[in-house]
Structure 1
Amino acid sequence: MSSQVRLRLLPSTRCLFDEPVQLKVAGLRSRQVVTIRATSTDEREVVFGSSATYRADDGGEVDLNRDPSLNGSYVGVQPMGLLQSLKADTLHKYFFKNKALNPHVVKFSVHEQEGDGRMLAEETNERFLMGDGVSRDPIKEGNIRGVLFTPPGEGPFPAVLDLGTFMSEKRACLLANKGFLVLSTAVFNDRQNMKEIHLDPFKEAVDFLRHHPKVGPAGSKGVGVISRSKGTDIALSLAAFVPGVQAVVWINGTSASVGTPLYYKKQQILSPLMFDFSKVITTKSGANLIKYAIEDPLEEKNKGSLVPIERAKSQFLFVAAEDDLNWDSKAYMDEMVERLTRHGKENFETVFYPGAGHLLEPPYGPFCSSALHGMLSFSVVWGGEPRKIQEFLRTHLSCDDAQTKANL
């Protein structure tokens, strides 16, 4: 390494997962061309990498907030492009960072363009999921299996149930950093239980949050539910069938119970909306396009799969991505808005992200365009280009003593 070249991460080498850092290089020759690389290893020991080429200014400095990448994993001015473009050498790999206790560690390095690409400087960025004072407690109570994240302080805090298709702690602890008490749980706690789903354990989770001592009297108003993909039909069903759900954030989901029947109090309440696998399209990369393989929930034979959200008293925030290739989230959102409007309801807001894909996730994580589908056991394309929620939850789950500034 060159003792003269310095790579700095500002304001610090340590930050929260959803916070930006500024990369600056100093001590280069005037107009020198260098390559900046990033590498990171996920929880499955898969190595991800990215790189971009920059030309220093007359003073021998590169500032990623100012300067454009000339080529590499991306081009143009993208201050966090090295993080967002991290990619594995193997196709269809999703960056697994789902456990809250360990930081997302990224190594940045600066290399000469000439010769063997000698490394000139390096620095490590530790990106923490849990903020200072947030507590993490595994919950195994009754039929509840999950992890509870509690902000520092006595509360009362607005309470949120975070429903993932499979277990992930990432979104839940990031919300806890913003002042929410969040219970993270999964629709599928194991891959063997995919033939039917029961709503009862999720009702237990709602009741657990409502009666938590740090939620306090605010729990009588109700809790929030945030979900994406398969978790959305469970979230909608909680709003429709279970008391105590005040606000629902629906992200790239459906309006029906997809793939599995739904039971409540030992009775089937929704029939499954099924896939027509003859309509799956295999792409050149080997991943499958399944967007057009799901049956139409509005067909007469499938109407028993529709979640009756018109009976819900909850507030809804529907978030859909234009380029969702897993299923047509925008069409499902439009159908629900039409149905609620037809029933005289005004209890909803909508957000539409042009160019985004199925995996809408917290900012500054590696973008994933295709990966193994957990329910279907083959690789699928998610769509999207690398690229309100707190404000909505805070509005409808307000606790006067727990107001903190939203930054999303």
Structure 2
Amino acid sequence: MDTCFNRSTNTNLVKKTTVVSEEMTSQIRLRLLPSARCLFDEPVQVKVAGLRPWQVVTIRARSTDEKGVVFSSSATYRADGSGEVNLERDPSLIGSYIGVEPMGLLWSMRADTLHKLFSKNKVLNPYVVKFSVHELEGEGRMLAEATNERFLIGDGVSRAPVKEGSFHGVLFTPPGEGPFPAVLDVCTFMSEKRACLLANKGFVVLAMSLYNDKPDNIKEMHLDYFKEAVDFLQQQPKVGNKGVGIISRSKTGHIALSLAAFVPGVEAVVWINGCSANVAFPLYYKKRKILSPLLSDLSKVIPTESGVVIARYCVDNPLAEENQATLVPIEKAKGHFLFVASEDDLNWDSKAFMDQMVERLKRHGKENFESVCYPRAGHLLEPPYGPHCGSSFHWLARQLAMWGGEPRSHAAAEVHLWKKIQEFLRSHLSCEASRPTAKL
């Protein structure tokens, strides 16, 4: 099934018992509903009350990431006749975004300096956002403030570093007896955020990285390393026997495809903005080379006026005759695929690679796939409600690079995709006895 997602104007909020967090200046109240403490991927409703009828105010959000970089946003609103502002209902007049955007203050946050990626990988510490309301006139005196603590790890979820055989990673396990579906989250560089958030939803998730060494020191890749992780997951006492899911993005995409094609027990693969071929290094399995490397030519980067490059077309054409040995034989896979491509991905030509794989599977009579495209989203699709990053330092290209994405559309794509990923994995890895998901 092919799907092309376009942004909806509505945002659904989970209905819970209201808990109000507020700090008051006079009678003005800034409220975060249903609670000022929530999981990272949950929306909050921002409301201001006690203003003068039709008063115009600016609402700001501010956070400091794990590297000490400050991110902030602001939007100006006009109160209604009762002196209230409701971000679910009211449009921003000017600021970091315009229009009705209930979570706009979060996704529109930008660093004080250019080309910064928001760093949040320490899952045991909450992501803290300071909201505040300010007068529009004069020096913008603060009228009220509230703090939003956004947790990555829910109650009862366990985190355990793993070093088993030749691989190492971090295992996240939900509360309860299970059995739970199992997912291997393969990251280019180690990140625990997505794995931890998936564990909150009732998955046993092992996070591991593609690079445990500097890329310059790597000459070849071995699929056996990742198969060990698959085997380890299947042996976990709380895991059901349905098989393992793989989630990947960018450079790890071809590893996920190769696991599905060559390793038994891989039932579901989420491929996000990657390539259809094995990139950069020869891939070995059981001491035999199974895929040649598809090479890149960094002289093909497109410079921009700001000095940031676009690397979208640097990878060689995998369909060229001389590159046939680099293509992953995904038609051999017994599991299911969810292909996800951002049309404004400026790092890979992901939509073209996705179309190649869809055509290949159809040519082989396969129907074991879904595909979703996001017309104005960029490369860095993440779990929702983090600051959008359009450009930052590219650790492999060793220069500032454009990732792409119109912020509003990219943020909406992340909300849609996060739900889609969970539905897809649960559908193909279902465990009837799995328990409810973790909450705060």
TM-score, normalising length from structure 2? 0.89
C-alpha distance in structure 1 between counterparts of 2:437 and 2:360, whole Å: 34
**SS of match in other structure, 1:31:** coil
1:226-241 matches, cutoff 5 A = 226-241=247-262
Query: How many residues end up aligned between the 2 structures?
Result: 403
* Matched residue, 1:242: 263
C-alpha distance in structure 2 between counterparts of 1:12 and 1:113, whole Å: 27
Match among 396, 406, 416 for residue 385 of structure 1: 406
* Matched residue, 2:374: 353
Which sits farther off after the overlay, 256-265 or 286-295? 256-265
* Matched residue, 2:272: 251
Query: Would the aligned equivalents of 2:176 and 2:435 in 1 still touch at CA under 8 Å?
Result: no
* Matched residue, 2:231: 207
Deviation at 1:403, TM superposition (A): 6.2
Deviation at 1:276, TM superposition (A): 1.6
1:165-176 matches, cutoff 5 A = 165-176=188-199
C-alpha distance in structure 1 between counterparts of 2:297 and 2:398, whole Å: 15
4+ residue runs over 3 A deviation: 192-195, 403-406
User: Higher relative contact order by CA 8 Å / sep ≥ 6: 1 or 2?
Assistant: 2
* Matched residue, 2:15: none
**SS of match in other structure, 2:227:** helix
**SS of match in other structure, 2:433:** helix
* Matched residue, 1:362: 383
C-alpha distance in structure 2 between counterparts of 1:30 and 1:260, whole Å: 64
C-alpha distance in structure 2 between counterparts of 1:276 and 1:144, whole Å: 31
**SS of match in other structure, 1:362:** coil
C-alpha distance in structure 2 between counterparts of 1:258 and 1:120, whole Å: 54
Match among 142, 147, 171 for residue 170 of structure 2: 147
Deviation at 1:91, TM superposition (A): 1.3
Identity score, percent = 72
**SS of match in other structure, 2:48:** strand
* Matched residue, 1:320: 341
1:232-311 matches, cutoff 5 A = 232-311=253-332
Deviation at 1:196, TM superposition (A): 2.3
Paired residue type of 1:91: L
* Matched residue, 1:177: 200
Q: Deviations over 1:251-298 (max 9, x none)?
A: 111111112221222332222111122211111222110111111001
Unaligned 5+ runs, structure 1: none
Match among 93, 96, 102 for residue 73 of structure 1: 96
* Matched residue, 2:117: 94
**Is 1:54 paired with 2:86?**
no
Paired residue type of 1:214: K
**SS of match in other structure, 1:379:** strand
C-alpha distance in structure 1 between counterparts of 2:64 and 2:220, whole Å: 35
Query: Would the aligned equivalents of 2:69 and 2:112 in 1 still touch at CA under 8 Å?
Result: no
**SS of match in other structure, 1:163:** strand
Q: Deviations over 1:301-358 (max 9, x none)?
A: 1111111111111111111111111111111111111111111211111111121111
**SS of match in other structure, 1:123:** strand
* Matched residue, 1:342: 363
**Is 1:397 paired with 2:429?**
yes
C-alpha distance in structure 2 between counterparts of 1:287 and 1:73, whole Å: 22
1:66-145 matches, cutoff 5 A = 66-145=89-168
Match among 197, 202, 212 for residue 221 of structure 2: 197
Paired residue type of 2:78: R
C-alpha distance in structure 2 between counterparts of 1:84 and 1:284, whole Å: 25
Q: Deviations over 1:41-92 (max 9, x none)?
A: 1111111111111111111111111111111111111010000011102111
Which sits farther off after the overlay, 95-104 or 193-202? 193-202
C-alpha distance in structure 1 between counterparts of 2:201 and 2:55, whole Å: 42
TM-score, normalising length from structure 1? 0.96
C-alpha distance in structure 2 between counterparts of 1:249 and 1:67, whole Å: 36
Change (3 A) 1:46 1:292: same
C-alpha distance in structure 1 between counterparts of 2:435 and 2:322, whole Å: 47
C-alpha distance in structure 1 between counterparts of 2:306 and 2:108, whole Å: 18
Paired residue type of 1:347: N
Paired residue type of 1:166: F
**SS of match in other structure, 1:402:** coil
**SS of match in other structure, 1:65:** coil
Unaligned 5+ runs, structure 2: 1-23, 412-419
**SS of match in other structure, 1:44:** coil
C-alpha distance in structure 2 between counterparts of 1:126 and 1:214, whole Å: 30
Give the superposed CA RMSD.
1.5
Paired residue type of 1:212: Q
